[in-house]
Structure 1
Amino acid sequence: MTTPLVQVEDLTVDFGSVRAVDGLSFTLEAGAALGVVGESGSGKSASASALLGLHRGTGARVNGTVRVAGTDVGAADEAGLRALRGAEAAMVFQDPLSSLDPYYTVGGQIAEVYRVHHRVSRRAARARAVEVLDRVGIPDAARRARSRPHEFSGGMRQRALIAMALVCEPRLIVADEPTTALDVTVQAQILDLLHELRRETGTALLLVTHDVGVAAESVDDILVMRHGRAVERGPVAEVLGAPREPYTRELLASVPRVDAKRAPRLPGPRTTGDEGVPLLETAGLRREFGRGAGRVTAVDEVSLTLHAGETLGIVGESGSGKTTLGRMLVRLLDPTAGHLRYRGKEIGSLPEKGLAPFRRELQMVFQDPVASLNPRRTVGESVADPIRAAGETDERRIRGRVGELLERVGLDAGLHERYPHEFSGGQRQRIGIARALAAEPKLIVCDEPVSALDVTTQAQVTALLAELQRELGIGLVFIAHDLAVVRQVSDRVAVMRHGRIVEQGPVDEVYGSPRDPYTRQLLAAVPALDPALAATRRAIRRELAAA
């Protein structure tokens, strides 16, 4: 009987008084693939880091037994860990920008990893770096190896991290949320790459993800975690097709489905007296950046409408112009050309002073609530800003209103004095929504508001937005690269590519019978919860790439 490549027995990881991993045990055979799924805070990443001894020196307390490729990780000295990392086991992290040194070329960094484990010349190491960059699909690898990380797109940086992990031909790759920040087509490319590398090299894969669909596309077995413990483990088709545990069923029920029609909604209250006048309307909207030969058109001739109480989804890949369009809709960016009308009034060409009457009614919820909340101010003070801007000076009334808003988005009014770092990602996003609501808006543009959240928190935030819209009659523009989430929340959808809208219409029509080839390409890249369907789609993508 062969010894498993990875053996974890009764693993516990404590950060101060918080137990992140609680008695976890599992094995992983050589060449196999295991997906570790669960909500944020379930202990997934803490468990994965323990496989390479990454908690050492951090203050975390690690107990139990972890063996990887014959190395007892807990008992190994620093030399033993260095020999393990890279050569036998390698890690691919979620954020390639924080994992790659901005001052050095990508190829140079990969070559340095190779030289740590092999006594070769710099020239030979550079040649090996070019070889693995070419293997992971970096075009013109010899030239791009001399580029620095900021010169790569997000998907290319993630490929570079995978190349760095592969350079020493490890027996195990640990991938921690490797596709979270990527749009669906690039995500599909990375998942296909990992699958092909496993098939060709026999490398084992431990994939950490909160996206159950990503796991279904990529692994043989699934381990479901909650509160640091293993809830359920089994073959991916069995766990996803017939989950035994209530928590697994709850997790799967929260996953948005690209093939599920949206349930009909009751109409919300009307917020405009002119029933025939759209809440928001654009015609030929355009935005350019730069001048002369360096001029770039980010949004090109976009025309759309939004009515009160309606949700318009905007989807497309990174760089398609979605965020630029969203910022123009609330006049955080000035249009270069075209018309922008709010409740029938032209606001696209108004100077800043002329926008004052509309600022409260046009609000935006941003993708990263950490960046949009001042870390030095309490959340109560941040939520109160729009109330004070409206002229309210009575502190007792301001505090009462802030408490009402926090409760309205599902938080305790008593959290007024806490700071952003004391909240989870989902809670911070709720705070961002509360701040937008403080202005009593008629229109909210949500820019990737759930992209960094796990599926259950996503479901909570999208349900909150739907409830607020139903009660207040707010018009919503929902920008996202996740097509399944957009289908779940939207009445109509617009598909963007290279700054233009290539297709728009009722969400069920666009998803059910897409006319544009690009829309069909996006939908084909969405992860499928059925492993058999995922394999079929992967084969189709492989054939298209070879054609």
Structure 2
Amino acid sequence: MSLVDVTGLRVDFGALRAVDGLSFRLEEGAALALVGESGSGKSTVASALLGLHRGTGARVEGSVEVAGTDVQRASDEELRRLRGGRAAMVFQDPLSSLDPYYAIGDQIAEVYRVHTRASRRAARARAVEVLDRVGIPDAARRSRSRPHEFSGGMRQRALIAMALACEPRLLIADEPTTALDVTVQAQVLDLLHTLREETGMGLLLVTHDVGVAAESVDEVLVMRHGRAVEHGPVAGVLGAPAEPYTRELLAAVPRLDAPRKASTAPEEVVLEATGLRREFGRGKRAVTAVDDVSLTLRRGETLGIVGESGSGKTTLGRMLVGLLEPTAGSLAFEGRPHTGVNPAVQMVFQDPVSSLNPRRSVGESIADPLRARGERQERRIRERVGELLERVGLEAGQYDRYPHEFSGGQRQRAGIARALAADPRVIVCDEPVSALDVTTQAHVVALLGELQRELGLALVFVAHDLAVVRQVSDRVAVMRRGRIVEEGPVAEVYESPRDPYTGQLLAAVPALDPEAAARRRARRRELAAA
């Protein structure tokens, strides 16, 4: 009997068919990736395996068997025994999955007690044991920490520990590395691989990142519009895809060895930072987020800034825009000293859901910079916003729609339109594509490049995805612990990194070749053991 056996699965949300006749199997100890764009139905399938659509109003048809349980016919009690016991799920956002008020260890212990009836002491010991198993240092002490006291990578490890508490036969991981930088992503993927080897559990990985799939699984099932497009061994599907859609998906994946953007000729400097420093807190509790950073940005060029989470990238970007005042150092715009917010330097944020007011239409949000510049005629404002919407690939008639009515890629386009409304010379892009699937990501990157060429914009591209940065940048600065450890033309830095930290970042980028991924995983193990 297969660990997972899905036959003719259909899931409807009202008139929308999210999954349409999907069938697949997963054997004991095997690993399968569901890969596709946002809206392809991947996460809906993952939820169906645990019966999470029950009671939501969704209509689910077909046969779903998981670890010997007929999910469609199972009672509520049988589903409770399945969830967390024989099958466990790790979600994309650990902050929304963990209770902010309770210690991590207490939450894991509670899951263990529900399924095993163990004593509080035994459950507590089990929580410490699994936290240690997933690589949380000083697990006994850290088990008393609350979620906000963990980094993003450590929170994801804690979720994996919770999933492992009852030794499940199946682990379902829904976009487990989407918001993580490349080194932490590599650590989480290596952890999943090691746990599979040690426990023999099966893995169903849901991801829009084809590179993540290559690093982690035996088979790949490519989804589009709720249907299976292509299914087979990972080396075959990624190395010699049979279907045009799979080839399109692979072509959109940024690669370290892909053709690079043509470098711009030297132009006048539009933005210069000298000795920037930013501290948070005071006295002994002061934390230095950016430490003595100097850089220049020329008209028409793109400067990529890369580094792990906590390296100071976002803090630097916010200082360049004027949203944060430097503790020390200075900024100059077009050769003149400048402090405070500069309308000529705009920002595109990582999460357009947070940066667009949900109670106001997208058109009104885009119109804010126009009104700030003194425009009062509503007809002219609507005309200009309509032009900007069309310029970024949306429609002028979408002025009155609200952010929740747009897809993730469309919201990011609206964020770009809002930045353009101020007629900037510089745009600082803070992780503008990190939450997008590869095809949407490629469209947004292409849009930024097109706008740059047409308007002569200078771009600062802050990202943890080194492949994307290589694709779009002329020069790159590598940050670590608030400092720039290496800077230069992108080809030089990527092909001949001088700093060992840069080499570590490059070595952590997922490879589309499963054999190369295995070699790099082995190499990371050797370095970790040394």
Query: How many residues were matched structurally?
Result: 530
* More displaced 10-residue stretch of structure 1: 187-196 or 139-148: 139-148
* Pick aligned residue for 1:75 from 49, 59, 73: 73
Deviations 1:497-519 (A, max 9, x none): 00000000000110010000000
2:61 counterpart (35, 60, 63): 63
3-state SS in 1 of match to 2:492: helix
Per the alignment, residue 144 of structure 2 pairs with 146
Give the counterpart of 1:290 among 281, 287, 292: 281
Question: Residue 132 of structure 1 corresponds to which residue in structure 2?
Answer: 130
Match of 1:345 in 2: 336
Residue pair 1:261, 1:508 contacting (<8 A) in 2 also: no
Q: Shift of the alpha carbon at 1:266?
A: 7.2
Q: Structure 2: how far apart are the matches of 1:266 and 1:481?
A: 23
The 5-angstrom pairing of residues 163-312 of structure 1 reads 163-264=161-262, 277-312=268-303
CA distance in 1, matches of 2:517, 2:76: 41
Q: Shift of residue 276 of structure 1?
A: 6.2
2:182–2:464 Cα contact (<8 Å) kept:
yes
Q: Aligned-pair RMSD on alpha carbons?
A: 1.0
Alpha-carbon deviation of 1:105? 1.1
Q: Give how far 1:387 is off.
A: 1.1
- 1:168-192 Cα shifts (integer Å, max 9, x gaps): 1110000000000110000000000
Q: Is the 8 A contact 2:264 2:474 kept in 1?
A: no
SS in structure 2 opposite 1:319? coil
Q: Does 1:326 align with 2:317?
A: yes
Identical positions, percent: 79
Residues 106-117 of structure 1 mapped to structure 2, 5 A cutoff: 106-117=104-115
TM-score, scaled relative to structure 1 = 0.96
Q: Separation in 2 of the partners of 1:277 and 1:36?
A: 48
Quote the residue 1:53 is aligned against: 51
- Whether the 8 Å CA contact 2:261–2:473 is kept in 1: the answer is no
Cα-to-partner distance string for 1:149-205 (whole Å, 9 max, x where unaligned): 111111111001001111111100000000001100000000000000000110000
SS of alignment partner, residue 487 of structure 2: strand
| Bigger mean CA offset, 314-323 vs 100-109 | 100-109
Which residue of the other structure, out of 438, 444, 447, is the alignment partner of 1:464? 447
Cα distance in 2, alignment partners of residues 315 and 265 from structure 1: 18
Distance 1:256 1:388 in 2: 38
CA distance, structure 2, for counterparts of residue 495 and residue 168 of structure 1: 41
Report what 2:419 is aligned to: 436
Shift of 1:16: 1.4
2:523 aligned with 1:540, yes or no? Answer: yes
Q: Deviations over 1:437-478 (max 9, x none)?
A: 011100000000000000000000000000000000000000
Counterpart in 1 of 2:359?
376
- C-alpha displacement at 1:260, in angstroms? 2.1
Q: 1:286·1:336 contact (CA, 8 Å) conserved in 2? A: yes
Q: Is the 8 A contact 1:495 1:504 kept in 2?
A: yes
Contact 1:37–1:222 under 8 Å retained in 2 = yes
Q: CA deviation at 1:393?
A: 1.5
The 1:266–1:541 alpha-carbon spacing in structure 2 relative to 1, beyond 3 Å, is closer
Superposed CA deviations along residues 282-321 of structure 1, whole A, max 9, x for unmatched, are 1111111111101111111111111000000000001000
Equivalent position of 1:423 in the other structure: 406
Deviation readout 1:392-432 (Å, 9 max, x if unpaired): 12211111111110000000111111000000000000000
Is the CA contact (8 Å cut-off) linking 1:11 and 1:65 kept in structure 2? yes
* TM-aligned CA distance change 1:266 to 1:336, over 3 Å: closer
2:348 corresponds, among 354, 365, 376, to 365
Contact 1:309/1:469, CA 8 A, preserved across alignment: yes
Q: Distance in 2 between matches of 1:277 and 1:86?
A: 59
Which amino acid counterpart does residue 426 of structure 2 have in structure 1?
Answer: L
Q: What residue in structure 2 maps to residue 271 of structure 1?
A: none
Amino acid at match of 2:302: T
Paired with 1:51 and 1:426, the residues of 2 have a C-alpha distance of: 28
Q: Does residue 489 of the first structure (1) align with residue 489 of the second (2)?
A: no
- Show the 5 A alignment for 1:472-483: 472-483=455-466
Q: Is the 8 A contact 1:383 1:434 kept in 2?
A: yes
- Runs of at least 5 residues in structure 2 that lack an aligned partner in the other structure: none
Q: Does 1:531 align with 2:514?
A: yes
CA contact (8 A) 1:277 1:344 kept: no
Select between 8-17 and 459-468 the one with higher mean Cα deviation: 8-17
Write the letter of the residue equivalent to 1:322.
Answer: K
> Does residue 11 of structure 2 align to residue 13 of structure 1?
yes
Cα distance in 1, alignment partners of residues 268 and 443 from structure 2: 32
Amino acid at match of 1:431: A
Note closer, same or farther for the CA distance 1:501–1:60 as it changes in structure 2 (3 Å cut): same
Is contact 1:361-1:442 (8 Å) kept? yes
Q: Are the equivalent residues in 2 in contact too, given 1:261–1:487 (CA < 8 A)?
A: no
User: 1:527 Cα shift?
Assistant: 0.4
Find the residue that maps to 1:417 and give its secondary structure: coil
Unaligned runs of 5+ in 1: 268-274
Q: Residue by residue, what CA displacement relative to the aligned partner does 1:113-138 show, whole Å, maximum 9, x if unpaired?
A: 11111122110111111111110001
Instruction: Give the Cα separation in 1 of the matches to 2:268 and 2:220.
Output: 51
Q: How far is 1:261 from its partner?
A: 3.6
> Partner of 1:521 in structure 2?
504
Equivalents in 1 of 2:107, 2:371: separation in Å?
50
Residue 26 of structure 2 corresponds to residue 43 of structure 1: no
* Aligned: 1:507 with 2:507: no
